[in-house]
Amino acid sequence: MAEVINGKEIARSYRMKLKEQAERLKEQGILPKLTVILVGEDPASQSYVRGKEKAAKEIGIESELILMPNETSEEELLRTINRLNADASVHGILVQLPLPGQIDEKKVIFAISPAKDVDGFHPESIGKMMIGEKTFLPCTPNGIMHLIKEMGVSISGSHVVIVGRSQIVGKPVGMMFLNESATVTYCHSKTSDLAFFTRQADILVVAVGVPNLITADMVKEGVVVIDVGVNRVDGKLIGDVDFEGVKDVASMITPVPGGVGPMTITMLLHNTIEAAQ
């Protein structure tokens, strides 16, 4: 029976440390500030943004929310980002994705100053991560690494299988495992015989957005399972892993909700404090 990885608890204790760091910065006359830009009225995005604001305030980060209507032009959004880049009181800038169709997401990510890129998506941040330089790391992948280390899981020499190759989770988390001397295999929608690969994993990270994709017969005894999926089915949140089945085979597993999610916001706060420092 797997040990359930309590992301809420691990996030809570990490946030206590961040709160102390924020207090030390304030003693030096620096008030850490995060500005979040939300374009349009996507309910999921609104809920994420509220969670970020609440978490920031709890640890002593000033949080500013800029709401822009759905019909905002790309030019208008880029002007707002440039203004924030030049504002010395703002330490972190986050543009909530997805953006409406008339706006090119890449242009927006590229426009944020790398010194304020607390999401860790700027090409400069990603490039530095690739070569193992200190930089802002993407929040969900960094949260996953933190969970695994907190649980005392050995990464060096482990076979890590990642299901999903998104720019936000799959690709960067694989690179971070590689930087820690793991052997990494990427799987995705074009992989034939997915179970052949997932059964080889010592650590399995699943981030595709397909409910219950990974079942008990697809994993080996003692695997550590990190479920990044968040799917709403019949009004309930469930992951990409069949939790009830897989927990009988795995040694450790993250629940959905309450696993990776709390760590994502925690790493955003961590990056904001770093930016202020």
Phi, psi of 58 (to 5 degrees): -60, -35
pLDDT of residue 47: 86
Q: How far apart are CA 7 and CA 133, in angstroms?
A: 27
Q: How far apart are CA 42 and CA 16, in angstroms?
A: 31
From the CA atom positions of the chain, what is the Rg in Å?
A: 19
Residues 6+ positions from 95 with CB-CB distance below 8 Å: 36, 37, 39, 77, 81, 108, 109, 112, 119
Amino acid sitting at position 71: E
pTM of this prediction?
0.95
pLDDT of residue 43: 85
> Could you give all domains of the chain from N- to C-terminal order, each with its CATH number?
29-113 (3.40.50.10860), 139-260 (3.40.50.720)
Query: Among 113, 226, 114, 216, which Cα is nearest to 161's?
Result: 226
Residue 96 is a catalytic residue: yes
Catalytic, out of 21, 96, 116, 247: 96
Q: How far apart are CA 111 and CA 245, in angstroms?
A: 44
Catalytic, out of 21, 116, 117, 119: 119
pLDDT of residue 18: 98
pLDDT of residue 42: 86
Report the DSSP pairing between strands 33-39 and 62-68. Answer: parallel
Per DSSP, helices labelled H in 96-250 are 105-111, 123-130, 139-150, 170-179, 194-198, 243-246
Which residue(s) pair with 66 in the sheet?
37
Sites in the chain below the pLDDT cut of 70: none
pLDDT of residue 157: 98
Catalytic, out of 21, 33, 52, 242: 52
Residue 119 is a catalytic residue: yes
